[in-house]
Structures are given as C-alpha cells and as structure tokens.
C-alpha cells in the first residue's frame, strides 16, 4: 500500500515512493510548524492508522499523531 500525505496549508506532498527520505522530509516539515510534535528521530519506520487517526512511528519506537492539516490518501483497493 502506497500512502500519499499532503500538507493542506502548503500543498506539499510526500509518498512512500522513497520511503525513508520522503517520510523524513515530512517529519521535518511537521517539526517546523508544530512545537508540540515530539518525535525523537525523523528516521521514520512508518505511518500507521489507529482507528480514525494517523500517526508516525520513529526508529526508537516513539510515535506521534499527524497534525490535522496533513491529509492522508490511501490507494483504492480492487473493487472499491
């Protein structure tokens, strides 16, 4: 599954195409504007969904919810 994350304020987007670098850039983008975003490292292991919320998991096992202005697009499954 390839996710696409878009900052709805700036229009900038990231995809899983270059997983490590792309998610690292996303993490750094979030940290610039959200002082309460507290991941220890921006070596992101993945972006996961828990219920209706999305969060990022770093290599140390720390996680943080994605701010609301970041929209997640999931690819369509066959038959949807």
- Tell me the pLDDT tens digit for each residue of 20-45: 578 889 999 999 989 888 888 888 88
Q: Could you list the residue range(s) of the whole structural domain that residue 25 is in?
A: 4-73
Q: How far apart are CA 70 and CA 7, in angstroms?
A: 5
> Has residue 79 been placed in a domain?
no
> Has residue 21 been placed in a domain?
yes
Check: pTM over 0.95? Answer yes or no. no
How many separate domains does the chain show?
1
> Has residue 12 been placed in a domain?
yes
Give 52 or 1, the one with higher predicted confidence: 52
Q: How far apart are CA 3 and CA 6, in angstroms?
A: 10
> Has residue 80 been placed in a domain?
no
> Has residue 44 been placed in a domain?
yes
Kindly tell me the sign of the dihedral angle through the C-alpha atoms of 77, 72, 48, 53: negative
With a cut of 60, say whether residue 1 has pLDDT above it: no
> Has residue 42 been placed in a domain?
yes
């Amino acid at each position: 599954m390839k996710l696409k994350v878009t900052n709805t304020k700036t229009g900038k987007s990231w995809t899983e195409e270059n997983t490590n670098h792309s998610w690292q850039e996303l993490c750094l983008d979030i940290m610039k504007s959200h002082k309460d975003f507290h991941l220890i490292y921006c070596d992101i292991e993945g972006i996961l969904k828990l219920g209706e919320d999305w969060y990022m998991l770093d290599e140390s096992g720390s996680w943080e919810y994605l701010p609301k202005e970041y929209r997640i697009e999931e690819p369509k499954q066959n038959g949807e």
